[in-house]
Amino acid sequence: MNRRTREARLAIMAIMAIMAIMAIMAILLLVLGSISFAQTASPCMAEKAQQDERTYQSCLRMYTSQKIFQSPYVMAVYATKGPHTALGTGVVANINGAEYVITNNHVIEGADDIFLQFSHADKQIYTARVIGRDPAADLALLIAPVLSRGIGTVLFGRSPRLGEEVYALGYPHDMRSVTFGFINALETRSWLYFLMQAPINPGNSGGPLFNANHELIGFNTVIIPGATMGFAISIKYARQILSRLTREQLVEHGDVGFDFADTWRMLPPFFAKHSLSFPPAEQGIMVVRIDPASHAAKNGIKIGDLIVALNGAAIMNAEDLDRNVFLHYRPGDEIVLTTKRGAQMFERRIKLMAYASPFAGAQ
């Protein structure tokens, strides 16, 4: 056997050995994955075997609720404000490579001191302080020495979906609890929020809203009195704001200084009240109320004007305009709005005001 033949055989044998090792590793991963899946699914396998779908789904929800209830990175937030103490909920998250506690701004705003408690069984109270807050979006970031102990962090999920199951974890009335429900409407009242039918109460504010995969998809924010529904801040937009909160002590958002709406949503009484023709000759984004102290009012924008473009770029609808200004501009920034009144077009340069939260005073 010559040298070249021996080298060729050795090369073939090496390749076959590598392929054998890869095959063994693949089998091991498959087996381990099957075991992991079986362990996860096993609590409800008896119900599934009986082909009782309703009982099976109830079992899955119970099992998911138990897992979420045990989340180690969710805590009660106590904010002392003079003789009073505000109660909310917080969740630990990794943002830009560091760990923070996320909660609602209205829980900690004006606080003299802030304390955290991860569970009543723990019997330990930890101090925290604010590093960034956003009153308009009702979000705040806290830091605390206890986070260095490796408590763990929540897993961010995808955007919420209409009709999906949700689980609200928090400390309503200072009692750790988890409630179950569904998402009823997306981007309602404001594109920043969605409506969900999971009961929340005072103390839930700032707490996480999970999907069935134990992923964070929103923050419980506003209670609807007398109803088993509430509003949550969508993770879709919250993540952009949270990143700013790590760099800015106070995050503010721009506001054009007037209210506007899509004409197709507007009712005839509005047009009659302002002596405008109905139906309107042209569909679009219409100015419906204006702050007389705003720069927009001083620069000639009036009720009934149509907003056509922002800084030369066409605007599709009212939500698009509001979201664009809120996320990308700050108070004091100047923008150019292209407006239309009848057949006339105008370029209006305006200075932005500060955006006020639509849920100011939330509990």
Q: Which residue in 71, 106, 190, 357 is the catalytic one?
A: 106
Is position 106 annotated as part of the catalytic site?
Answer: yes
Domains of the chain by residue range: 9-51, 74-149, 165-245, 254-354
74-149, CATH topology level: Thrombin, subunit H (2.40.10)
Which superfamily is assigned to 254-354 in CATH?
Answer: PDZ domain (2.30.42.10)
The stretch 173-191 carries a mean pLDDT of: 87
Identical fold at 74-149 and 254-354?
no
Q: What is the pTM of this model?
A: 0.81
Contact 52, 63 (CB under 8 A): no
Of residues 227 and 20, more confidently modeled: 227
**Phi, psi (degrees; rounded to nearest 5) at 152:** 110, 165
Q: Tens digit of pLDDT for each residue in 117-163?
A: 997 677 789 999 999 999 999 999 999 998 888 889 999 999 999 99
3-state secondary structure of 29: helix
Q: How far apart are the first and last CA of the chain?
A: 86
Which CATH fold would you assign to the domain 165-245?
Answer: Thrombin, subunit H (2.40.10)
The DSSP element (H or E) to which 335 belongs, if any, is strand 334-341
The residue from 71, 177, 190, 205 that is catalytic is 205
At 264-286, the pLDDT tens digits run 999 999 999 999 999 998 999 99
- Looking at the predicted structure, is the pLDDT value of residue 8 above 90? no
- Average pLDDT of 307-336? 95
Is residue 205 part of the annotated active site? The answer reads: yes
Q: Which pLDDT belongs to residue 362?
A: 45
In the set 138, 255, 305, 322, the catalytic residue is: 138
Q: How many angstroms separate the CA atoms of 159 and 168, rounded?
A: 16
